């Protein structure tokens, strides 16, 4: 039963880009849908668990949730530029590598020589896998270009902040349930600010703005389930299960969203995904 619970985050985070891709709309529509849907889950979770959280931690969580939108906006824009099947493996790798380096440099993780060796070898495997998934033939309509990759890399900084913030002293002693709702409110706030600052206030009149809430519900359920799977299995083992989302999103993009890949591209993608999953699991032993 615990392992079924651990599969919910992988399923929810893997299905989210497929749901938003199928619904369509602009990155603004999709971002608002994630914020609104996740907030609905946050409100339900708060009503059920009724956690407590300090005022300082509440507002800090809101800020970190808002910063997360930078990463998600970058991902949505990249979906349209490179396709879901190209973006998700690269996004997963950038998050894994960035979070691991932050853990080593700032939080002192992988402190032994053995841990550092295993960790960096695992990251090297993951990077090779990402490079393999990004192989594109000249006739592909959505390619992984240098500019597209740099854009995804820069916006992934938002994900790094979001992933690191639970370890920051301000919220380190708060319950995961307590900071969940303010995080979701921050995501919603960030999505609204993005819509207004990008000159897309009219997006609130578009139906895609609200249909994409379905994607937000999928993301929010996954995020909340992860809290409990991490408690039951431990953060490391629970995180390994979440890596299955890249399989769902990548092959879902090909089969459900009909993103074309040649035989050569497909071969590289399959082997690249295998290396990403193997490397991700290997980091657990660091």
Quote the pTM value: 0.87
Output the tens digit of pLDDT for each of the chain's 286 residues: 778 888 899 999 999 999 999 999 999 999 999 999 999 999 999 999 999 999 999 999 999 999 999 999 999 999 999 999 999 999 988 988 888 888 888 878 788 889 889 989 998 998 999 889 888 876 666 778 889 999 999 999 999 888 787 778 888 788 889 999 999 999 999 999 999 999 999 999 999 999 999 999 999 999 999 888 877 776 666 777 887 888 999 999 999 999 988 899 999 999 999 999 898 888 878 7
pLDDT of residue 104: 85
pLDDT of residue 140: 62
pLDDT of residue 8: 93
pLDDT of residue 206: 96
Residues 6+ apart with CB under 8 A from 2: 229, 232, 233
CA-based nearest residue to 10, from 78, 88, 71? 88
What's the token pair of residue 82?
């490179």
How many other CB atoms are found less than 10 A from the CB of residue 169?
6
Q: How far, in Å, CA of 261 to CA of 254, rounded?
A: 7
Sign of the Cα pseudo-torsion (120, 121, 122, 124, in order): positive
- What are the angstrom distances between the C-alpha of 218 and each of 18, 80, 92, 122? 10, 20, 18, 30
pLDDT of residue 150: 95
What does the longest C-alpha to C-alpha distance in the chain come to? 56
Distance of CA 115 to the CA centre of its chain: 25
pLDDT of residue 236: 65
pLDDT of residue 180: 93
pLDDT of residue 138: 62
């Amino acid at each position: 039963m615990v392992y079924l619970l651990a599969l919910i985050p992988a399923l929810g985070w893997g299905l989210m880009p497929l749901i938003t891709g199928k619904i369509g709309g602009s990155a603004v529509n999709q971002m608002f849908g994630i914020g609104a849907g996740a907030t609905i889950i946050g409100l339900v979770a708060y009503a059920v668990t009724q956690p407590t959280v300090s005022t300082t931690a509440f507002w800090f969580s809101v800020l970190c949730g808002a910063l997360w939108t930078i990463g998600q906006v970058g991902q949505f824009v990249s979906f349209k530029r490179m396709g879901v099947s190209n973006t998700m493996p690269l996004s997963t790798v950038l998050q894994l590598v960035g979070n691991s380096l932050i853990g080593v440099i700032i939080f002192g993780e992988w402190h032994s020589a053995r841990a550092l060796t295993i960790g960096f070898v695992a990251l090297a495997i993951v990077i090779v896998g990402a490079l393999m998934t990004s192989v594109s033939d000249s006739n592909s309509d959505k390619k992984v270009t240098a500019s597209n990759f740099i854009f995804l890399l820069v916006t992934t900084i938002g994900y790094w902040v979001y992933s690191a913030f639970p370890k920051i002293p301000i919220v380190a002693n708060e319950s995961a349930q307590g900071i969940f709702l303010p995080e979701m409110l921050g995501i919603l706030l960030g999505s609204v600010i993005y819509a207004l600052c990008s000159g897309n206030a009219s997006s609130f009149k578009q139906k895609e703005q609200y249909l994409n809430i379905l994607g937000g519900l999928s993301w929010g359920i996954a995020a909340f389930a992860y809290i409990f799977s991490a408690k039951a299995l431990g953060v490391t083992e629970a995180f390994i299960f979440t890596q299955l989302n890249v399989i769902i999103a990548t092959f879902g993009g090909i089969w459900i969203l009909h993103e074309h890949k040649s035989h050569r591209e497909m071969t590289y993608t399959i082997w690249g995904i295998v290396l990403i999953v193997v490397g991700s699991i290997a980091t657990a032993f660091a």
